[in-house]
Amino acid sequence: MSGFKNFLLRGNLVETAVALIMALSFAAVVSTFVAWLTAQLPKSVDDVFSNDANSFGAFMNAVIAFVVMAAVVYFVVVVPYTKAKERFFPAEASGPTELDLLTEIRDSLASRTA
């Protein structure tokens, strides 16, 4: 069971799944936007004065669905995954921080010029 836990939390499986879900949802936004945009192009003189609002409604529906999907994925997948990853695999302290290194460089340069 620990091997499966490591597979889920150590690898990029969850990040890849979230990226795929978001990409597919965004693809729907793009395709409905293109459909709306191309519906605005006049095909004949009679079409110049007729405006198809349904395609704009479909675009707005896709945008709202994308935002809702992003919220659901974030709160149902990303937040619990992040908490579980921090709990089971805490971040290891890896050497000095950037501030420590900059302070060391400053002190080294100050001792050289003095």
Q: What's the pLDDT score for residue 28?
A: 93
Q: What's the pLDDT score for residue 68?
A: 96
The 10s digit of each residue's pLDDT in 26-47 is: 999 999 999 888 887 777 655 5
pTM confidence score: 0.64
Between CA 48 and CA 31 the distance in angstroms is 23
Between CA 106 and CA 108 the distance in angstroms is 5
Name residues of the chain where pLDDT drops below 70: 10-11, 44-54, 93, 114
DSSP code string of 19-53 = HHHHHHHHHHHHHHHHHHHHHTS-SSTGGGS---H
Provide the number of structural domains found in the chain. Answer: 1
Between CA 8 and CA 82 the distance in angstroms is 12
Q: What's the pLDDT score for residue 60?
A: 92
Q: What's the pLDDT score for residue 33?
A: 92
Full residue range of the structural domain in which residue 61 is found: 2-113
